[in-house]
Amino acid sequence: MEWTDIALTGLIWALEILAIAVPVALSVAYITYAERRVIGLIQVRKGCNRVGPFGLLQPLADGLKLFLKETIIPSQANKILFVAAPVMALVPALVAFAVVPFGETTLFGLWDTAHVMAIAHLNVGILYILAISSLAIYGVLMAGWSSNSKYALIASVRATCQMISYEISMGFALVCVLMLAGSMDLSVIVNAQTGGFWHWYIIPLFPMFLVYFISGCAETNRTPFDLVEGEAELVAGHIVEYSGMWFATFSLAEYGAMILISLLTSILFLGGWDAPIPALDFIPGTVWLLLKTSFFIFVFIWFRATFPRFRYDQMMRLGWKVFLPWTLAWIAVLGLFTYAEELNSSLTILSDMIGYYQPWRS
Amino acid sequence: MFEAGFFYLFATLAVIGAMGVVLARHTMHSVMFLIFCFFNSAGLFFLLDAEFLGIILILIYVGAVMVLFMFVIMMLEVNKAKLREGFLQYLPMGGMIAMALLVEFIAAASSGIFHTDAIATVGHLGQEVNNTVEIGKILYTQYLLGFEIAAIILLVALVGAIVLTLRTRKDAKYQNISKQVNVRKEDRLRKVRM
């Protein structure tokens, strides 16, 4: 390989990464704006409307304010880990976007076959995302421990319990999707759902869709699962000692994870870049994917404005005693349906029903 | 060339990480070094086309096992000075083991069995070979019994751990959720004639 080729490949990689990371950072800024406006609407008040038209420049003003603030490192803190913790929280949130497919394109007819729009086209995409998102714990854990503060430590222990508990039900919900699609490749999963909303996995897997989205809420520490930063008892939880840009890094990670969960819910359960009815195919697939994602981000904000916070034991109960048996039972049901015809020929109708969603069987 | 470069990168970083685990003064730093080491080992798996194993290594070891490690270490007050007390006492023994391993490694490396020409260069399999599928096929057919036995052992351990910690305290209040949900108006309200 020539050096120019290597340089060119490197440049294309860098551009691809920028094409994902920059929109993510920008949408994080404007999700904070949307959040304040939507919660304002729900609570019958105006929300931010002073900076620029309709307050549209508010995120930039906030960013500037956070940037200019002093970053204080507590004197008793473990300095290296204190500084590293926000980065450890942010990196998994951004790295996970590497395998998310944003659609299929032929680059305006330049390529003969449609290519998947993702930085890395892995055939273990779902596992990669599970592995990377399980790393987000370290940012919280390190922040809590290195701050050398009681509030932060208790919050980080809580956060870890919460993330570990909900990761399990999340993983089992994903297993159900795998049983239907027969692949861990995200673009294959989307292609298994093509052809209108009656092919989407939300129909056979509706309870799993609920489990996945609610677990996603818990994973990202959003209300009603934000007992990590329950201000009445823990002040601000693991971020209590952080200020300025390092504080902003934590919220960047939180909102980034929120976008990721919304994207994945649309890809896994709502057909990704497929139009709900084939007649609407003239609208580009990426637009559909982003529309679905925006809807889920709206639901996140809606949750925050509507639900009171869970108590710690209620949160644990929901994860272990409700979601876990539910997902395990659904896996068994799917398995029984899939192989029902081999048990008894009169049960063929069951496996035909589920077989409609399983392209790998035909 | 790329591949060799990445191999040396991952291998060097893994060794540095492993040394950091032993040499770091602070236990928390040791754990972070161990995580770093796991990451680089996962990278080595990726280079061998074993992407399933690599990702599982990160998912299980980094995502779950190390979190528990960290939990325990966070709660412990580790006194490093006390730990280093017996350092000189154990040095001869440790040194001997290290020397024996070194001699073995050198002997094995120079014996010619591991020479690059002797090992058939493993070509990369095509994109269509999915090692998740292959591992699944073997695990659920040929090694099904072993797999099931491992699962039962894990289940027993899980149930045992829960049973050991399950105790109801008399002085704490517990909610009975199903009782709360099933409550009727008649149970709580009483009509009083004034």
Return the pLDDT at B152.
95
Cα–Cα dist B20/B74, whole Å: 19
Nearest to A354 by CA among A175, A202, A180: A180
Q: What is the mean pLDDT of residues A232-251?
A: 82
Round to whole Å and give the CA distance between B175 and B169.
Answer: 13
Q: Cβ contact (<8 Å) for B35 and A138?
A: yes
Assess whether A175 and A239 both reside in one domain.
Answer: yes
Residue A142: domain span: 72-355
Whether A313 shows a pLDDT value over 60: the answer reads yes
**Which positions 62-101 of A are in contact with B (Cβ < 8 Å)?**
78, 80-81
Cα distance between residue A134 and residue A163, in whole Å: 8
Residues from chain B contacting residue A134 (CB–CB below 8 Å) = 58-59, 62-64
pLDDT at residue B114, rounded to an integer: 67
The confidence score (pLDDT) of residue B157 equals 94
Give the model's pLDDT for residue B97. 93
A287/A351 same-domain check = yes
CA angle A321, A322, A327 (to 5 degrees): 110
pLDDT at residue B150, rounded to an integer: 93
Q: How far is CA B85 from the centre of its chain?
A: 29
Of the two residues A240 and A169, the one the predictor is more confident about is: A169
> Does residue A361 form part of some domain?
no
Topology at the third CATH level for domain B1-80: Four Helix Bundle (Hemerythrin (Met), subunit A) (1.20.120)
Q: Say what the pLDDT of residue A248 is.
A: 87
Q: Give the list of residues 6+ apart from residue B16 with CB closer than 8 angstroms, or none.
A: none
Into how many domains does chain A fold? 2
**A242 vs B129, more confident:** A242
* Chain B residues contacting A via beta carbons under 8 Å: 1-2, 26, 28-29, 32, 35, 51-52, 55-56, 58-59, 62-64, 67, 70-71, 74, 127, 130, 132, 175, 177
B51, B56, B67 member nearest A160 (Cβ): B67
Q: Which of A157, A100, A173, A167 is nearest to A134 (CA)?
A: A167
Last residue of a domain, one of A68, A92, A121: A68
In a domain, A362, yes or no: no
B67–A130: do the CB atoms touch at under 8 Å?
A: no
Q: Which whole number is the average pLDDT over A171-198? A: 86
A28 and A174 belong to one structural domain? no
Interchain contact A148–B (C-beta under 8 A): no
Mark whether A320 and A350 lie in a shared domain: yes
Q: B187 to chain A nearest CA, in Å? A: 24
Q: Which of A68, A94, A122 is the last residue of a domain?
A: A68
C-alpha to C-alpha distance for A126 and A178, rounded to whole angstroms = 9
Tell me whether residue A49 is in a domain: yes
C-alpha to C-alpha distance for A203 and A245, rounded to whole angstroms? 43
DSSP per-residue codes, A257-304 = HHHHHHHHHHHHHS-TT--SSGGGTTS-HHHHHHHHHHHHHHHHHHHH
Q: Which two tokens stand for residue A360?
A: 């790998």
Please list every residue in chain B whose beta carbon sits closer than 8 Å to the beta carbon of residue A122. Answer: 51
Cα A234 to Cα B20: distance, rounded to the nearest angstrom: 34
A242: closest CA of chain B, how far (Å)? 20
Judge if A43 and A132 occupy the same domain: no
pLDDT, chain A, mean: 85
Residues of chain B with pLDDT under 50: none
Between CA B11 and CA B47 the distance in angstroms is 11
- Chain B contact set for A81 (CB, 8 A): 28-29, 32
Q: How far apart are CA A68 and CA B77, in angstroms?
A: 38
Cis peptide, bond prior to residue B92, ω within 30 of zero: no
Q: State whether B63 and A81 contact (CB < 8 Å).
A: no
Bridge partner list, A104: A116
Interface residue A166 vs chain B (CB under 8 A)? no
Under 8 Å between Cβ of B132 and B52: yes
- Cβ-Cβ contacts under 8 Å for A114 (sequence gap 6 or more): A104, A105, A106
The ipTM assigned to this model is 0.77
What per-residue confidence (pLDDT) applies to B178? 83
Q: Which residue of A has its CA nearest to B63?
A: A134
Chain B closest-CA separation from residue A161 CA (Å): 10
Q: Which of B1, B132, B177 sits opposite A124 (nearest CB)?
A: B132
Can you tell me the distance from the alpha carbon of B39 to that of B21, in angstroms, rounded to the nearest whole number? 14
- Exposed / middle / buried, residue B22 (Cβ in 10 Å: 0-12, 13-18, 19+): exposed
CB contact under 8 A, A137 and B130: no
Of residues B1, B59, B70, nearest to A130 (C-beta): B59
Domain ranges, ordered by start, for chain B: 1-80, 127-170
A7 near B CB under 8 A: no
CB B57 within 8 A of CB B45: yes
Select from A164, A184, A317 the Cβ nearest to the Cβ of B177: A317
* B98 contact partners, CB below 8 Å, separation of at least 6: none
Number of residues in chain A? 362
Measured between alpha carbons, how far is B143 from B60 in angstroms, rounded to an integer? 21
Q: Does residue A9 surpass a pLDDT of 60?
A: yes
Report yes or no: A134 and A126 within 8 Å, Cβ to Cβ.
no
B145-188 pLDDT per residue, tens: 999 999 999 999 989 998 888 877 777 777 788 888 888 888 88
For residue B29, the chain A residues in CB contact (below 8 A) are 80-81
pLDDT tens, position by position, A82-124: 888 888 888 888 888 888 888 777 666 677 777 777 787 778 8
Do residues A109 and A97 share a domain?
yes
Give residue B154's pLDDT: 93
Q: Using an 8 Å Cβ cutoff, are A123 and B50 in contact?
A: no
Tell whether A104 and A64 lie within a shared domain.
no
User: Chain A partners of B67 at a C-beta cutoff of 8 Å?
Assistant: 137-138, 141, 160, 164
What is the per-residue pLDDT across A145-178, written as a single tens digit (0 to 9) for each? 888 888 888 888 888 888 888 888 888 999 999 8
Share of chain A above pLDDT 90, in %: 8
- A248 with A307, same domain: the answer is yes
Give the residue on B whose Cα is nearest the Cα of A311: B175
Residue A185: per-residue pLDDT: 85
Contact A253, A90 (CB under 8 A): yes
Contact B63 A137 (CB under 8 A): yes
A38: left (phi over 0), alpha (psi -120 to 50) or beta: alpha
B59 to A184: CB separation less than 8 angstroms, yes or no:
no
- Provide DSSP, A152-220: HHHHHHHHHHHHHHHHHHHHHHHHHHHHHH--S-HHHHHHTT-SSGGGSTTTTTHHHHHHHHHHHHHHT
The nearest CA of chain A is from the CA of B101 a distance in Å of 34
Q: What whole-number distance in Å separates Cα of residue A322 and Cα of residue A211?
A: 10
Contacts of A192 (CB under 8 A, 6+ apart): A180, A181, A182, A183, A199, A357, A358, A359
Residue for token pair 């976007």: A97
Residues A207 and A82 in one domain: yes
> Which H helix or E strand runs over A12?
helix A3-42
Angstrom distance (rounded) from CA B42 to CA B45: 5
